[in-house]
A and B are shown apart, each in its own frame.
Chain A
Amino acid sequence: MRLPLLALLFAAQPGWGGDLVEANKLYGQSKFAEAAAAYKELAARDPLDPAAHYNLGNAYFRLAGPGDLARAIASYERAFNLSPRDGDVRHNFDFALKRAGETLVPTGMPSAAFILFHILSRTELSALHWLGFWAFLLLAAAALWREKWREALKPWVLWSGLFWAAAGGWWGLLALSDVQNPGVVLTLDAEVRSGPGLNFPVNFKSPEGRRVSILDEKEGWVEIGVLKEGLKGWISAEQVERI
């Protein structure tokens, strides 16, 4: 048992708190470009730190240059995926999305239902699913091993199995409901063409910051799907940032 625990503790090593403080100082001095560079490095070193992604989103939002709104949205989405119960993350993500013509809560869905559905992150649901997996298998193994424990362990085995199934189902639903292979459009009025090249006509134009699903990639072009309008087309890969 020691090895798995050690592995878990190693994987769960804490973030780079001191560097985040330094980056926050740059942000406080309105040096948003420098702060964004520092946050970006932190987020690359520790992709599981929602604070680094959230602060990076703020720095991009304050920069307000070409493509910065889109980068802010991408960073907020990463922070939201890691920490969906954080009200600040939800607020800023929604605020930035509205600038790009979207909302965090899909149209027609009650806000409370959305928050309830996203009260746990995909990572947390995945962890709960694995905890249920452990509990069910260990309890079941014990019940199989000793006949005299079998009756006493039966309800525990049943409940742990239900917990495992519920967590796994929720995790799967959340994964299916999210945009698959997501990206965000970086440029204002980006031209989306009917094929991967400038010789194909422009199908439609996408505003900066619009979240899209990346469907395919070919020679510097990516095929994107815009869920809200139900459109898809090809765009230069430089104009899209993967989330």
Chain B
Amino acid sequence: MRALPGILLLVFGAAARAQDFNITASVNQTQITLEEQVVLSVSVSGAGSGLPEPKLPAMPNFNVHGAGQNRNFTFANGVMTNSAEYRYVLVPRFSGRALIGPISAESGGVTRKTAAIEIAVLKHSPAAAPQPSPQPPPQAHGARPQAQPRGPGGAPDLFVSAEVDKESPYVNEQVILTVRFYTGVPLLGNAEWHPPATQGFLSEDIPPAQPRQVFQDGRRYNLSEIKLVLFPMQSGELTIGPSVIVCQAQQEMEVDPFSQDFFQRFFSQGLMQAQTRELRTRSITLKVQPLPEAGRPASFTGVVGQLRVKAETDKKSLSAGDALNLVVTVEGSGNLKALLDPKLPDMPQFRTYDTVSSANIEKDANGVRGSKVFKTVLVPKVSGQLKIPAIPVSYFDPVKRDYATAETRPIEIDAAPGAAQAPAPAYVASPGQGGTITPLIQDIRHIKEPRGFGPGRLAAALSRTLWIHLFPAAVFLAGLLSFLHRESLLQDPAGARFRRALDLAERAISEAREILPCDPQKAAGLLEEALTGFLGDKLNCPRSGLTIKQAQALIKKRFPKMPEGHLRQLKLLWEEIDLYRYAPSAPGGTGDASQFVDGVLQMIKALDEEMAR
């Protein structure tokens, strides 16, 4: 954790300063002969990862060949510095003073330039005079020499050839095109070289070798070789166009000794004249094979060649939370520019930050080779014996015609407990301060073990089971209704008596019906009470002491529409019950109380019906 701000500064802060850069240029020598070469080094450096590439000015006095580049990243004091060196070989074409103009680079609207460099090119030195060479001349396979004017022995004065080292490469496999230029006559300056059209290829030029002397068809020639490394980008037939070489050769003049200006010419120009010659190689067609689909590893990113990979860390032991650098170096031959960042395996014990890479590309007669270095910052999240697993880098080996995977060796890291790993703050007592404790670190606290059935869970259940809360609501509602009912009865006692009269009378009649078989006298008494009670409640008068005359009078007064038949029937029933109760054996008594039960019930229902109208 302590390393985090610094790492973030490295990873993110540096990218924001891409426009802070410098460009410088230098040469290995400022005075050369026509047989020599100048090595021009252009260096671009700055903070950040997005440095611009230099733009070379037009240099008509030189043939320019790229000779590789070198990129480096360095971390110092929390700042990432990026530098790239581009190397070029300049072959002079003419003697005299040649100027390398300002070399520029542009980034984020900012353009920087180098100072111009002047080179003095001298004529051929005596030491460089052609010498007989014992080696036989090379045989060109890719193209026949182009027919040219021939010398006395039948061999041409100048000719060119072109050949490739393989005619059926795989996609992205390195192909070396060699263009040879044979000169059997002196040249005025060096030749001008026009590279071939290479549509469908990525091309890298290779610095030219020093010219040498060879024998061809019994004639001695100066041989200059120019090589291009080509990477076909697609399968099928791809054509390398013709290379063109333009030079000025010295040719003997046809002189007429009897001409008027013979002597003037002989002494002023000699008997030789300059002739511009353009030589052209033939086109070469390659049959590019596609890479096989079968067996393609997941980590394959397109590199065809041979690779080796190794990994190392700057620390083998550290504290959890501290940073270490994992450096993965991939080296070998092939188009290393196409090599992407290796996919790091899953490392849950480490926090992984962005990867930065640097490349060192070398070119020679055998093609392009070099190395690419990937730096990744890792921070152990836990303590203990940690392991960085093997990191695979896959490529296609054109020699074996199969995919191959190179792997780094696993790396063991010893991580001691540190700030980011401890589960809880550690406390130490400071001696002499009364036992004051001071937290050493800040971190999250440890996980929890399972807990039993707690009040929180019951609370959650209570708050989420909503339907059970209807129960107290229903109880309350019932109590409220009961209360209101009783309150309404208290507010209107006469009305309450009136409304309850029939219920009470029916209850008394029902009771009389039950005891009738065993105690007819008591049953008759209950029937009379039911009748008088009904009338008392309906008429709102005391039930005790109510006589039939009073009852009839009150009924007529309160219910004037009461039929007279009902009143006569009431009087008759009342008197019969009285007679049964107090003189059951008297003349006119029925002697059977059961007939009164239905009679009283029908009577009070008829009265209630009329009173309700």
Q: Taking beta carbons and an 8 Å cutoff, which residues of A are in contact with B?
A: 4, 7-9, 11-12, 14-15, 17-18, 20-21, 24, 27, 30-33, 48, 50-51, 54-55, 58, 61-64, 82-83, 88, 91-92, 95-96, 121, 123-124, 126-131, 133-134, 137-138, 140-145
Assess the A11–B456 pair: CB atoms within 8 A: no
Output the least CB separation between A175 and chain B (Å).
12
Q: Which residue from B447, B462, B465 sits with its C-beta under 8 Å from A58?
A: B447
Q: Which residue from A32, A58, A61, A127 sits with its C-beta under 8 Å from B458?
A: A127
Assess the B450–A140 pair: CB atoms within 8 A: no
Q: Which residue from B449, B455, B459, B461 sits with its C-beta under 8 Å from A24?
A: B449
Chain A residue nearest in CB terms to B348: A33
Output the least CB separation between B15 and chain A (Å).
14
Output the least CB separation between B360 and chain A (Å).
32
Whether B60 is near chain A, meaning CB under 8 Å from some CB there, is: no
- Total A-B Cβ pairs within 8 A: 133
Assess the A127–B463 pair: CB atoms within 8 A: yes
Assess the B444–A134 pair: CB atoms within 8 A: no
Whether B351 is near chain A, meaning CB under 8 Å from some CB there, is: yes
Most buried by B among A55, A63, A127: A127
Size bracket, chain B contacts: 35 or more
Contacts A/B (CB < 8 Å), 6 sampled: A12-B458, A30-B348, A58-B446, A88-B448, A123-B463, A127-B462
Output the least CB separation between A24 and chain B (Å).
6
Chain B residues 460 to 497 lying within 8 A of chain A, measured CB to CB, are 460-465, 468-469, 471-473, 475-476, 478-480, 482-483
Assess the B348–A32 pair: CB atoms within 8 A: yes
State A48–B461 Cα separation when bound (angstroms): 9
Most buried by A among B384, B442, B471: B471
Assess the B444–A7 pair: CB atoms within 8 A: no
Whether B613 is near chain A, meaning CB under 8 Å from some CB there, is: no
Once A51-B448, A63-B348, A137-B473 are accepted as A-B contacts, the answer to whether A124 and B459 lie under 8 Å apart by CB is: yes
State A134–B458 Cα separation when bound (angstroms): 16
Assess the A83–B447 pair: CB atoms within 8 A: no
- Chain B residues with CB below 8 A from A14, complex form: 452-453, 457
- Chain B residues with CB below 8 A from A142, complex form: 479
State A12–B462 Cα separation when bound (angstroms): 8
Output the least CB separation between B477 and chain A (Å).
8
Q: Taking beta carbons and an 8 Å cutoff, which residues of B are in contact with A?
A: 348-349, 351, 381-382, 384, 442-453, 455-465, 468-469, 471-473, 475-476, 478-480, 482-483
Once A121-B456, A137-B472, A144-B480 are accepted as A-B contacts, the answer to whether A27 and B447 lie under 8 Å apart by CB is: yes
Chain A residue nearest in CB terms to B351: A64
Assess the A95–B462 pair: CB atoms within 8 A: no
Assess the B444–A92 pair: CB atoms within 8 A: yes
- Chain B residues with CB below 8 A from A123, complex form: 456, 459-460, 463
Assess the A138–B450 pair: CB atoms within 8 A: no
- Chain B residues with CB below 8 A from A82, complex form: 456, 460
Once A133-B469, A145-B479 are accepted as A-B contacts, the answer to whether A12 and B461 lie under 8 Å apart by CB is: yes
Output the least CB separation between B102 and chain A (Å).
40
Query: What 13 new A-B contacts, CB under 8 Å, besides A17-B450, A124-B459?
Result: A7-B465, A11-B464, A12-B453, A14-B452, A15-B457, A20-B449, A30-B384, A51-B447, A51-B448, A123-B459, A123-B463, A127-B459, A133-B469
Output the least CB separation between A147 and chain B (Å).
8
Once A95-B442, A145-B482 are accepted as A-B contacts, the answer to whether A31 and B459 lie under 8 Å apart by CB is: no
- Chain A residues with CB below 8 A from B448, complex form: 51, 54-55, 88
State A130–B460 Cα separation when bound (angstroms): 11
Q: Which residue from A8, A20, A133, A145 sits with its C-beta under 8 Å from B450?
A: A20
Once A51-B448, A51-B451 are accepted as A-B contacts, the answer to whether A145 and B483 lie under 8 Å apart by CB is: yes
- Chain A residues with CB below 8 A from B462, complex form: 8, 126-127, 130-131
Q: Which 9 A-B pairs have the closest CB atoms?
A: A141-B479, A17-B450, A127-B459, A11-B461, A126-B463, A12-B461, A144-B479, A137-B472, A4-B468
Q: Which residue from A8, A96, A128, A131 sits with its C-beta under 8 Å from B461?
A: A8
State A137–B472 Cα separation when bound (angstroms): 6
Assess the A24–B447 pair: CB atoms within 8 A: yes
Assess the A51–B473 pair: CB atoms within 8 A: no
Assess the A8–B482 pair: CB atoms within 8 A: no
State A77–B472 Cα separation when bound (angstroms): 34
Output the least CB separation between B413 and chain A (Å).
13
- Chain B residues with CB below 8 A from A133, complex form: 469, 472
State A184–B349 Cα separation when bound (angstroms): 26
